[in-house]
A and B are shown apart, each in its own frame.
Chain A
């Protein structure tokens, strides 16, 4: 398929900055916007996942975020990074989804599922195998199960900060913009979440030496 000379080719894509792609997309270049989707899909998806807890819902939210960004692209002036702007949209969409009444009705209709999502705690497929004895592996698996359940019981502000910091895709500045909190507050929330988890684990019999 012949490429248009005024479109971004695959070879050129890696050399073009996000801002250049945004300018092209603002002019109507859908391929340029597609490249922006490719570059930011993981960060957007993981941000949505931290809020809604379910991969299928996070996929929907991430798609909605990109569609909204496309519609509002003329409003992006370049004062901040495109990614930061996009993540703010994503987080708002995710929170709206989390608060939506239909979501609660779905969860209430399926009581067998975990509150955090349908396969959020599918532990047996997710726990990485460690080079331990069978007993310690089971113990580790049990510990992971407990920790994941306790993460689901954390206050939302602490849980959101902890999960966003754990995505590996977001800087503290980006997390601060999403949560509308200073960087120092975000770091405190992450540390506090870990302290709360350890206290609860200790109450369950899991403690540090």
Chain B
């Protein structure tokens, strides 16, 4: 297919992508934390639950990058992972929906 050596990854592309996953996870955790703080202030249990789920999703993305992203996979074997990216988009849209709901619905 291409002349790359199995493992030859001079640009450390796999590691950079794993770090990008970590950053995405952390960003999601931050959003969840803001929502959690607001919801706790207002006593909105439903929002606390959803924010908790978003935090878990962020932790999952972070952990995916930190611990399991394409580990031991030679770069030559890398294939796209559309499902993981779809899932990330769904998690982000959930966070957005939560933020919208918290802004639109009156506190309490």
Same complex for A and B? Answer no
